[in-house]
Structure 1
Amino acid sequence: MGVTYRRILLKLSGEALMGELSYGVDPAVVHGIAEEVAELVNEGIEVAIVVGGGNIFRGMMGAAAGMERATADYIGMIATVMNAMTLQDALERIGIPTRVQTAIAMQEVAEPYIRRRAIRHLEKGRVVVFGAGSGNPFFTTDTTASLRAAEINAEVLFKATKVDGVYDSDPKKNPDAKRFKSLTYSHVLQQDLKVMDSTAIALCKDNDIPIIVFDLSVRGNIKRAVAGESIGTIVGGFCEVC
């Protein structure tokens, strides 16, 4: 395959692991993601992953229900480690060496996050899955994805979602919603387009890391994105509406 990017960071939401379930993890979906990541690794692509935990626990919802926000966020971070371990298991069952690194120490099940060690794993062809967010409450896993992408010198951040890009309005509610092919960071921030939270966008802008938003449910889309095919929306380049 043609390759545009050699080191990528893939951001997966917890919800992406649910498939059509209302809660938890769909093993078939996780296996499918693992197979797609394996194809990249076997082509020599260095892959790091940040995974959310919204399929198990979402800190904002816990806080809305009366829980202290910091406590709720820590519980959400622990949920991301469960998802990270699930991905590790799926990848290693198909022969892809994988390391989970966590921002909250869990020595019995994962390595602590150490930037240089993470980079070394990538150089050796291992997938690195980052769990426990940034280790700090009040920050999203989108922000963690941008932070880790900058730290490991990723060439691109892929945000794999359930929609095929960024729209000017909710495509589920508005059948006439327009999908953007490209946007600048500034336009996303000014128009509050909800690609990622503003801190995440600003981090990518400051470090010149393009963000590509695409539909994870279409088999082969991760590989197409790595090859530079025009799928979804790219943030960081030419703005078609500015």
Structure 2
Amino acid sequence: MVRVLSVGGSIVVPQQPDEAFLRDFAAHIRRWLSVSAERKLILVVGGGGPARIYQQAYRKIIDNTPSNDEADWIGIMATRLNAQLLKAIFLDICPNPVVYDPTAVELFSGQVLIAAGWKPGFSTDNDAVLLAERFSAKQVINLSNIEKVYTDDPKKNPDAKPIDTISWEQFIRLVGTEWVPGKNVPFDPVASLRAQKAGIQVICAGGTDLNNLDNILNDCPFKGTTIG
């Protein structure tokens, strides 16, 4: 059984590594894996605070002519640093190197596989979908700093409503179809199109509620939004 988690960098490294969260997160993951040696987990991590800080610096320095590809590469490098930290935390059950290219991975010999950003044009959400396809997982669990998808940005629109379930068609209408580096959406538009095509379901949930993550992994009732 392979489960795929797309872990938002903002909960792993909001500005600097959140040591308390990472310690608890690792304990919950290890507890779930300990039930059976057949349980396997792919963790794909985003860039978090460092990605945003460095991308913002780049855009300010270049002024009005920044390259989206270069901004993406900056974010990708942040994901790789975060991924290396996760690999070190799970070292005893994660013997394979950090995955950079989700289309080329062949080995998954431990219980945990860590992946980071691949190339410009999309976020690590898309890498998670590609890895779900590669290892025949029908679901991606997307953990971020929001508990549910809303009909609009609740920070800007007080009338925005939380959504429990939504089709891919409806979700794509909400987020669009184009990726911009650093774009703040519940799930990457490029990844959404790919997941829709592949028939992969995505659960969006708050990443810091680890008891809720337990419920998702154990197929129990949970707080979040199911897409697809």
Is residue 2:227 matched to residue 1:235? yes
Deviations 1:79-125 (A, max 9, x none): 11111111122223xx5445342327xxxxxxx9742213xx2xxx4
Deviations 1:18-53 (A, max 9, x none): 35xxx1211111111111211221123210011011
Amino acid at match of 2:10: E
Out of 17, 33, 37, the residue aligned to residue 41 of structure 1 is 33
Amino acid at match of 1:187: Q
- Report the 3-state secondary structure (helix = DSSP H, G, I; strand = E; otherwise coil) of the residue aligned with 1:57: helix
Q: Within 1, Cα distance between the matches of 2:186 and 2:33? A: 27
Equivalent residues of 1:96, 1:126 under 8 A apart: yes
Q: Within 2, Cα distance between the matches of 1:201 and 1:182? A: 15
- Report the 3-state secondary structure (helix = DSSP H, G, I; strand = E; otherwise coil) of the residue aligned with 1:171: coil
Unaligned runs of 5+ in 1: 1-5, 105-111, 237-242
Shift in CA distance, 230/222, structure 1 to aligned 2, threshold 3 Å: closer
Amino acid at match of 1:143: N
Is residue 2:5 matched to residue 1:14? no
Q: Within 1, Cα distance between the matches of 2:224 and 2:73? A: 32
- Report the 3-state secondary structure (helix = DSSP H, G, I; strand = E; otherwise coil) of the residue aligned with 1:159: strand
Q: Within 2, Cα distance between the matches of 1:227 and 1:175? A: 33
Is residue 2:201 matched to residue 1:210? yes
Equivalent residues of 1:12, 1:161 under 8 A apart: yes
Shift in CA distance, 38/219, structure 1 to aligned 2, threshold 3 Å: same
Equivalent residues of 2:168, 2:196 under 8 A apart: yes
Amino acid at match of 1:9: V
- Report the 3-state secondary structure (helix = DSSP H, G, I; strand = E; otherwise coil) of the residue aligned with 1:83: helix
Deviations 1:47-96 (A, max 9, x none): 0011011321247535533254333322322211111111122223xx54
Is residue 2:152 matched to residue 1:161? no
Out of 102, 107, 118, the residue aligned to residue 99 of structure 2 is 102
Out of 105, 113, 118, the residue aligned to residue 115 of structure 1 is 105
Q: Within 2, Cα distance between the matches of 1:78 and 1:202? A: 24
Amino acid at match of 2:24: G
Q: TM-score, normalised by structure 2?
A: 0.82
Out of 182, 186, 189, the residue aligned to residue 195 of structure 1 is 186
Q: Percent of aligned pairs with the same residue?
A: 25
Unaligned runs of 5+ in 2: 177-184
Q: Within 1, Cα distance between the matches of 2:133 and 2:56? A: 29
Amino acid at match of 2:172: L
Shift in CA distance, 98/11, structure 1 to aligned 2, threshold 3 Å: farther
Q: Within 1, Cα distance between the matches of 2:196 and 2:103? A: 24
Q: Within 1, Cα distance between the matches of 2:158 and 2:209? A: 20
Equivalent residues of 2:164, 2:226 under 8 A apart: yes
Shift in CA distance, 166/129, structure 1 to aligned 2, threshold 3 Å: same
C-alpha RMSD of matched pairs (Å): 2.4
Q: Within 2, Cα distance between the matches of 1:144 and 1:163? A: 20
Q: Within 2, Cα distance between the matches of 1:102 and 1:130? A: 4
Q: Within 2, Cα distance between the matches of 1:138 and 1:40? A: 33
Amino acid at match of 1:29: F
